[in-house]
Amino acid sequence: MAAPGRLWIADTTLGRLGNVEVSKFETATGVRLRLRGISPKPLEAYLDPLELEGLTRVRYKPFPLLPPGERPAREEAPVRPAVEERMERLQNEFALVGVGVARGRSEEGLLIRDMNAGQAVVLTPDELEALLRARHMDFAPLVDTSDLIALPEPDIDEA
């Protein structure tokens, strides 16, 4: 139980990727993914589950902070969480994602999986450092799903 006058805070470390420490940060107002740059100067970013869900769409939508480069080829390589039980679940009323440190063939990165759609992305340490400079408004193109094609559900009254 939190002391009177203090917000309840829990910070669960997921790992360190390059110069970025990654943790699950929980307060009374919700859960976030905390990115903390260690050097050359300390920077922090807090990403909510909806922004993380949006990051799983970087293959399909432009996001200026992460250049498209070689992303599709790297994502097709098999990726698994470093330790299965270290996949952390981040959820709010809009999104549900799982995050964890993933090991590829020669590198490790942050695995973000949209638990509802099944899409996933692995972000390299360099890409995580780029996210330290992001503003919440930068995620708007990734969060906006109005241009995605949805399959209509059949109307059960017309069956």
Res. 150: pLDDT tops 80:
no
Structural domain spans, the chain: 9-139
> pLDDT tier at 69 (50, 70, 90 boundaries)?
low
Res. 127: pLDDT tops 80:
yes
At 25-51, the pLDDT tens digits run 998 889 999 999 987 778 999 999 999
Ramachandran angles phi, psi of 7, nearest 5°: -80, 145
Average pLDDT of the chain is 80
In this prediction, residue 74 carries a pLDDT of 43
In this prediction, residue 81 carries a pLDDT of 52
In this prediction, residue 152 carries a pLDDT of 66
